[in-house]
Every structure is written in structure tokens, then in C-alpha cells.
Amino acid sequence: MWGLRAYFKPYWKFLILGPLFMIFEVFFDLLQPRLAAHIVNFGIMDRDLGIIERTGFLMVGVALLSLITGVGCNLFASRASQNFGADVREALFAKVQAFSFDNMDAFKSGTLITRMTSDVVQVQNLLQLALQGMVRAPSLLIGSVVMALLMNLRLGLFLLGTLIVLVAALIVLIRFSNPLFSGVQARLDAVNTRIQENLAGIRVVKAFVRTDYEMRRFREVNEDYTAISIRAARFIALNAPVVTLIMNACMVTVLLYGGDLVSIGSVQAGDLVAFVNYVVQVLSSLLMVSGLLMNVSQANVSARRIGEVLTTQPHIEGKAREAEDPIPATHVEFAQVSFSYDGSSDPKDLVLRDINIEAGRGDTVAIIGATGAGKSTVVQLIPRLYDVTSGAIRIDGKDIRELPLHGLRRRIGIILQESFLFTGSIRGNIAFGKPDATQAEIEAAAKIAQAHDFIAKLPDGYDTQLGQKGVNLSGGQKQRLSIARTLLVKPPILIMDDSTSALDLGTERRLRMALQEVMKDTITFFIAQRISSVIEARRIIVLDDGAIVGSGTHAELMAECEVYRDIYRSQFGKREVS
């Protein structure tokens, strides 16, 4: 929790006022047994109705003050804890937005969701309890023991000895339960990851009738989570019985011994009643303390997990946005670029090896190769979704690692293999990169992407609401909307990563023709699986096992590159493409 102290600062007033009001509440609660003892000793024993009435009204007043201060503490604690939780969630979300792809690969989405929800709730609840219970319980405990000792030293020593035994028991319980709480959160990560994966691939599951298999997979992680949760709950459940047993034993001893002292006149009856009340207050505060210690143990695990995210530095960082310079982006160069996902320069770990590519304004570079050849990896290096392991990528002669990251990515339009659409309107999805775009600009981009016609046929046109990931559209429609979204920002560098795979040949041809007209000053990198998609390109690069094995026109590659000829034969046999 201490590692998150920076998020306490905006609410320092609430953090002071909450405990202060709680201290007053405890003070008023500690007065009540003494007032009750006064009624017994001097009102009931002496049969003085005036003392009973005056002291009774005073007790009512003290109770009202206790209520007011308790409510005040709760209000301040709630304001502080809820705002603290909101700030931490926002900080986590902002941090995740700054992560590079390899950061995301390291954490996985399931555990990030758990940390932003369950873990934040744990520390948020602890802060709420800390401002109330962690002030009330120790204050009430210490105050009750002090008052008990002041009333009768011999009886107070019984209470003090009982507390020592209880503290030892709680330390043992917490020591054994702390590792279990770490395990609980880790198992919850696994459950969330499995749920997220299943929901994302629910169509595949149903198509292959694998519901039973997925149920078994989920049952495994769910049972693991349940088992360790039960083990952790057992330790939590031991708290109250252990505390109650020991304190009840103390209560019986006090009553037996205190009764003898009253009978011989060493202790007044009212003082014994007050002492018993203090023992009850000690019991309630101990139950509260034991629960709080368990909460602290749980929240510390969550706080560490949150801290891991917040202290993780993005592997890819650029210059500050204030230092941005305009990037014309008229020339792109790959200079002996090699890459591995783990950053290793060992040849066996390299996904790309010695890639050399140059492209200027108006150039279209088509990249083709077998599955796993490294085509997508090449283009993901341009906007620094990953950083090169060796070599350099230069735009306008400058290494992209020296350019402002925000400015670099604003000059690059990338259409990834998977067409991802957000919940909302078609208009909002197309204008995602340019929120202030006019309707005319949106429609123009949609027409180039061959999407306008099908949008116009929808009942609500551009106001049609899309489900999660565009579930109510076909694959080809989603691809065309993704293309329109990128074309709208008119990037100087356009990357199309197999983004026409779901289009029929006629639509794809019309799209290519439209792109030639409007993107004539753009540097275009076009990845495709089908030779028919790249056959007209002036330059085709052939990748095989992470290396360039051919470069040229279709005719040149058919004459010189065996890998290209193999791809051609696998798609068309021996016939020529028209």
C-alpha cells in the first residue's frame, strides 16, 4: 500500500478528518461504561433518581455525539477511498495504453483486467477500513485496556495477559494465510484469462462443437481457484472463533474473580459492570483488528500486483510530445534490420534477418511469403509496435527511435490483419482517428474503401450501431470499414497487413484502383497472401523464413525466384494469371 501513497495526496484533507472524527467517536464510546458505572454506584445503589436521570441524559448526549462523529468519519473515508480507487484504475488504464506490444505479451490481458478490477477493489476497501477500523479498533482497544487498568489493576492484568495470547495467535494465522492470498489472485487471473479467451472465440467453439471441451478447461481453472479460495477462507474463518473463545474465557475469569471482590467490598458493583463493558469493547475491537489484519494481508498482495504494472516501463518510449517536429515521411528505409521477440541477437531466435528495403513517396511495396515468413512483423516495426533488435529503420533519414513516438504514429496508417471495430456507430468507427471529420470526409473515405454502398443500404446508414467487435457485420464489411478508418486520416505512410483477405476479387480490384488514384503520393506497404493481389505492383518483396529471397516485378520474380514460383504454383498451378 505504501507504494501507492502518491494517490493519497489529493485527498489529504479527508485522510486527516476521517481518523480525527473516529478518535472523537472512540472517546465518546469509552465514556459510556464510566457513566454507566456512575449510575450503578451512585444512582441505583443509593437510590438517587436525580443522578440516574442526569447521567442518563448525559449518556444520550454522548451517544448522539458518537453517532455524528461516526457518520462524519464514514463520509470522509468513503470520499477518500472511492476517489483513490478511481485514480488508481485510471492510472493503470493510462499505463496499459502506454505499453508496447511486448509489455502486453508479458502481462496478458486476463491478469491486467484482474488488477484493474479485483485488485483495485481490495486496496480501495482497505483504505476505507483503514480510515475507520484501523483508527477505531486500536484506539478502542488501547483505550479500553487503559480504562480497565485504571479501574482495577488486578482485573486489568487478566485482560492484558489475554491480549498477549491473542496477538500471538493472530500472528500465526496471518503468517500462514499471506501466501494463500497471492495464490488466490493468481488463480483468479487464470479464470479471467480463460473466460476472456472463450468469449472471444465463442463462434469457433460452437462451430467445432467444442463446448464440452471448453467446459472441462474452465472447470480445471475454476476448481483450482475454488480450492485455494476455500483454504484461504478457512484461515479467515478461524479469526472470529479464536478471538471469541479466548475473550470469553477472559470474561468468565473476570466475572468469577470480580464477583468475589464485589462480595468482600474491594470493588464496587458499578465498577465491575463498567469493567465487563470494557472487556466487551476489547472483544469487539479485537475481532475488528483480526479482520483488518487479514484484509491488510490480502490488500498488500493486490497492491504489489498493481505496483508491478505501474512501475513497469514501456519497452518502447519516444521523445516527449512537446518536442515533436513535423515529419514529412517522404522516404522509408530498412537498413540491415534484424528482429527477435525476446530481444536476443542469437541467429536461431531471429524472426527477421538483414532486411533492407527502401521506398519513397508514391511507391508501393508489396510483401508476400509463406505463413510465418515474417511479413506482418516487418511492417509492425515501422510504427514501433516493436523495436528492431539490430539495424535501423529510418524515415526521412532519421532513425525512428529518435523521433517523437506520437508524431511518428500520426504519420502512419496501419490496417492490421484482424479488423477490430468498437461498439458504437459506423460513423464513430470510421472517424476514430479523426473525431472532427465531416460527414463528407467520412463518406469519401468509405467510397474509396468500397464500403459506402453497403452502409447506405443499412436502415440507419452511418448511424447504424455496431455490436462488440462489429459482430453484426461480415468479415469483408469489417475489413472495408477498417480501411476507411485509416484512409480518413490520409497518412503519408500506409500499411495494409493482409487487410483485403476477406474481399472478393472484384471488390479488391476496385479498391486497388481507387487507392492508386487517391494515395499516389503515399508510401504504401501492402502484405498479401494471394499473388493476384500484388501481381500489378511495381515492386514485390518475397520473404522466406525471415529473410528477403527475392525482389522485383511479377515477371522478374517468376524468372529468378524459386520461392515466388512455388507460391504461384500452389495458388494457380501452371496457368497464367489474367
Tens of pLDDT, residue by residue over 440-464, are 999 999 999 999 999 999 888 999 9
pLDDT at 322: 47
Pairing of strands 364-369, 539-544: parallel
CB atoms within 10 A of CB 245: 12
pLDDT at 318: 62
Phi, psi values for residue 344, rounded to 5°: -75, 140
Phi, psi values for residue 369, rounded to 5°: 170, 170
Place of cell 488501547: 142
CA distance 251 to 229: 34
Q: By the 8 A CB rule, do 156 and 39 touch?
A: no
pTM: 0.68
CA distance 168 to 254: 21
CA dist 248 → 202, 242, 244, 463, 504 (Å): 56, 10, 6, 68, 80
For the beta sheet containing 390-395, the strands, ordered from the edge strand earlier in sequence to the opposite edge, are: 352-360, 331-339, 390-395, 398-399
For CATH 3.40.50.300, the residue range(s) in the chain are 327-411+525-578
What region, left, alpha or beta, does residue 84 occupy, with left being phi > 0 and alpha being psi -120 to 50 degrees? alpha
User: Please, what CATH class does the domain formed by 2-186+231-311 belong to?
Assistant: mainly alpha
Q: By the 8 A CB rule, do 22 and 136 touch?
A: yes
For CATH 1.20.1560.10, the residue range(s) in the chain are 2-186+231-311
Place of cell 536461431: 348
**Which long-range CB contacts under 8 A does 149-152 form with residues at least 24 apart?**
151/37, 151/271, 151/274, 151/275, 151/278, 152/258, 152/261, 152/267, 152/271, 152/275
Place of cell 472517424: 431
pLDDT tens string 176-229 = 766 777 777 778 878 878 887 777 777 677 766 778 888 888 888 888 888 888
Place of cell 461516526: 70
Phi, psi values for residue 356, rounded to 5°: -125, 115
Q: By the 8 A CB rule, do 377 and 352 touch?
A: yes
pLDDT at 578: 44
Point out which residues pair with 542 in neighbouring strands.
368, 550
Pairing of strands 390-395, 539-544: unpaired
Residue partners of 469: CB distance under 8 A and separation at least 6: 420, 421
Exposure string for 434-453, b = 16+ CB within 10 A, e = fewer = eeebeeebbbbbbbbbbbbe
DSSP reduced 3-state for 374? coil
CB atoms within 10 A of CB 575: 8
Within 201-338, where are the H helices? Answer: 202-207, 211-263, 269-311
pLDDT at 164: 79
Q: By the 8 A CB rule, do 488 and 516 touch?
A: no
CB atoms within 10 A of CB 51: 16
CATH of range 327-411+525-578; options 3.40.50.300, 3.30.70.260, 3.40.1390.30, 3.40.50.1010? 3.40.50.300
Residue by residue, DSSP assigns 398-455 as EEGGGS-HHHHHHTEEEE-SS----SEEHHHHHGGG-TT--HHHHHHHHHHTT-HHHH
8-state DSSP, 43? I
pLDDT in tens, the chain (578 residues): 666 778 888 888 888 888 888 888 888 887 887 788 778 777 777 777 888 888 888 889 988 998 898 888 888 888 888 888 899 999 999 888 888 777 877 777 778 888 888 888 888 888 887 777 667 777 777 887 787 777 777 777 777 777 777 778 777 777 776 677 777 777 887 887 888 777 777 767 776 677 888 888 888 888 888 888 888 777 777 766 777 777 777 777 777 777 777 777 777 777 777 777 777 777 777 777 766 766 777 777 788 888 888 888 887 776 555 445 567 888 999 999 999 988 788 888 899 999 999 999 988 899 998 888 888 899 989 988 888 999 999 999 899 988 888 888 888 888 887 788 888 899 999 999 889 999 999 999 999 999 999 999 988 899 999 877 777 788 888 889 999 999 998 899 999 888 877 788 788 888 888 887 777 888 999 888 888 878 878 899 999 989 999 999 999 999 999 989 888 888 887 655 44
Residue by residue, DSSP assigns 474-518 as -HHHHHHHHHHHHHHT--SEEEEESTTTTS-HHHHHHHHHHHHHH
